[in-house]
Structure formats: C-alpha cells, structure tokens
Amino acid sequence: MRMHNDCLPCIARGALDAARLSTDDELIQQKIVKTVLARLSQVEMDCPPPLMARFIQESVKELAGVDDPFKRLKKEYNDLALDLYPELKAEKDRAGTRSGRFETGVRLAIAGNIIDFGATSQVGRQKVLDTISHALSTRVNGEIRLLEQAVQKAENILWLADNTGEIVFDKLLLEEMDRDKIIYVVRGGNAQNDATMEDAQYTGITELVRVMDSGAAIPGTLVSICSKEFQRAYERADLIISKGQGNFETLDHRDKRIFFLFKAKCPIVATHAGCEPGDVVIRTSGDLSPRD
C-alpha cells in the first residue's frame, strides 16, 4: 500500500511522539522532527508508510541516544494485557464449543490490535477495555468461519505479529489452533511499540509456539528486506495470518494465502480494506480491489 498525503502529518506526529518519549529537551525534540521531515521530503510516495518509521527510529537514536523510546510503554501494555488475560480466557472458555471458542479468540485477538502507538498517541486501559467489549459484541467485517476452515486445512501457518500487549491477546486464539503447525513472527528490532523476541519471551509466547523474528526493524512486513530465514518460512507457509495495520500496509494484497486481521484505526487503511474506521476486520485477497 503506497503512502497518501494524509500519511505525512501522521508520520510527523509519530516523530514528535517518539522524540518526547526519548527526551524532555525540546531542542532535541525539534531536531528529531526536523530530521525526519527532511528525510521524508526525499521519499517517493509509492513506498509503504511503515517504512518511514525506520527514519524516526534512526533519528531518535542518533540525536537523543535512545535505542527504544517505547520501552516503558511496551512493558506497561504487556503487563496490562497479562493482567487481563485470565479474565479474557474465562470469557473465551464460556463460549463452550470449539467453534465458539475460536470465534471469541478471533474477536479478542483483533481487539488487542487497538494497542498501537503508531496509529495513535493515546491508548489507555479504558480504551482497551472498551475495545474488548466492542469486539465481543459487534459484527465482524469479514468471515470468521472461512478463517477457521483455512486454519484446519493448513499444514504450515505463519503468524505475523504486531504490537506489544496485543501479542498476549493473540495467545487466546493460538490456544485454539494446532500450535505445532505455527511459526509466530515478531519484529527483527525495535520499531514503535511492536513486539520483538524479548516481548515474546516476557509474555510467554515462546512457551506456546515456535517464535522467530523477521530480521527487519520496521512496523510491518516488507518481505524483500527481511532475513533469508524468514523469507524461506514465508515461501513455505500455506496460510499466513497477518495481524495489524502495518502488516496490511506492507504485504502483497494479491497473495491468496493471507488473512489480514486488524482493528481499522486509520481512514486511509479503512478505505483500502473496504470498511469503516473502528471496524473489527478480517480480509483476504478476494475482498480487496486491485488498486490495493
């Protein structure tokens, strides 16, 4: 998915958010934002928006000396999700049947996608709770049963993870799947509040499924810049579960193996996905128009 004009102020806001998280020095904050804007002015608009997050990360490290400005927030939301997990698991178990638990797991996994500091500078516990409630009660924009059937048939499943905190919500769906068939993929380095191997270990994902990193430190999955190991796993997969907007923005929408699962938080992404902002979304290549 290419950048749009509306992406530009969003990237600038992301730069300021990261700058403020890295230092209280307003002069350094200004330098970070100006550096990102200068680099952004040289970028062609046909590249995917998540690639620009690399400029932010590099500028923060260079000018503020901070490798991971989101470190505190990442732990905070991992802990919040771990605190909510027992109650959410009980909610899922109350669904009773296997299909019922799978559907609840899907809804909760997508609800966790609200924990995204690339799409917004504010989340908060109440917003997470409200999103959970909405995800459990609203109509899902997409076909849960089609996803369930694909999961049952698949032999090699590649799960592309997204944000910290959200990965705990993913556990609720992973538990309803044959985990021996799954490779769970986190980012190859710090990128906004996206999950890394450290987060997978902290939240217990590594005890549940095999985990690898993509080899790329961007909040998305641009296969061409990922590691050879990841590329081999990507080619071998017969089902790819893609979590979050960043993966939606960077992956090939023509690939029939991919199920995109996310909370639509951006109007540009919502337009491309054929949904409304705020929707709980499942999309496959057949749901997306060629222009995507």
User: Confidence class of residue 285 from pLDDT cuts 50, 70 and 90?
Assistant: confident
- Are 13 and 84 found together in one domain? no
- The 10 Å Cβ neighbour count of residue 235 is 10
Check if the beta carbon of residue 285 is closer than 8 Å to that of residue 255: yes
In a domain, 137, yes or no: yes
Q: pTM for this one? A: 0.94
Alpha-carbon distance values, 6 to 9, 133, 147, 259 (Å)? 6, 30, 32, 26
In a domain, 187, yes or no: yes
pLDDT of the residue at 96: 85
Distance CA 111, CA 131 (A): 6
Smallest CA-to-CA distance from 268 within 279, 256, 276, 260 is with 276
Spell out the alpha helix ranges (H) of the chain: 7-22, 26-40, 53-64, 71-93, 98-111, 125-137, 144-153, 166-174, 197-202, 228-236, 245-250, 267-273
- Are 128 and 210 found together in one domain? yes
User: Confidence class of residue 120 from pLDDT cuts 50, 70 and 90?
Assistant: low
- Are 57 and 195 found together in one domain? no
In a domain, 170, yes or no: yes
- Are 117 and 252 found together in one domain? yes
- Are 33 and 170 found together in one domain? no
Q: Which of 33, 64, 95 is the last residue of a domain?
A: 64
Q: Which of 47, 64, 81 is the last residue of a domain?
A: 64
- Are 60 and 94 found together in one domain? no
Alpha-carbon distance values, 147 to 80, 143, 177, 240 (Å)? 28, 7, 11, 11
In a domain, 163, yes or no: yes
- Are 133 and 29 found together in one domain? no
- pLDDT single digits (tens) 37-91: 998 888 888 888 888 888 899 999 999 999 999 999 999 999 999 999 999 999 9
For 254-269, what is the mean pLDDT? 93
In a domain, 292, yes or no: no
Q: At what angle do helices 71-93 and 125-137 cross, to 10 degrees?
A: 30
The range of the structural domain enclosing residue 185 comes to 71-287
Distance CA 51, CA 7 (A): 12
In a domain, 1, yes or no: no
- Are 161 and 58 found together in one domain? no
Examine the pLDDT at 197 and tell me if it is beyond 50: yes
- Are 31 and 121 found together in one domain? no
Examine the pLDDT at 289 and tell me if it is beyond 60: no
For 244-269, what is the mean pLDDT? 93
Lowest-pLDDT choice from 4-8, 107-111, 166-170: 4-8
In a domain, 2, yes or no: no
- Are 29 and 75 found together in one domain? no
- Are 46 and 160 found together in one domain? no
Element (H, E) at 281: strand 280-283
Contacts of 216 (CB under 8 A, 6+ apart): 187, 188, 189, 222, 225, 226, 227, 230
- pLDDT single digits (tens) 140-152: 999 999 999 999 9
Q: Which of 18, 35, 64 is the last residue of a domain?
A: 64
pLDDT of the residue at 151: 97
Distance CA 247, CA 257 (A): 14
Distance CA 3, CA 43 (A): 10
Domain count, the chain: 2
CATH of the domain at 238: 3.40.50.10880
- The 10 Å Cβ neighbour count of residue 97 is 8
Examine the pLDDT at 290 and tell me if it is beyond 90: no
Distance CA 40, CA 15 (A): 11
In a domain, 20, yes or no: yes
Examine the pLDDT at 7 and tell me if it is beyond 90: no
- Are 219 and 76 found together in one domain? yes
Check if the beta carbon of residue 118 is closer than 8 Å to that of residue 14: yes
Examine the pLDDT at 291 and tell me if it is beyond 50: no
Q: What is the DSSP letter of 86?
A: H
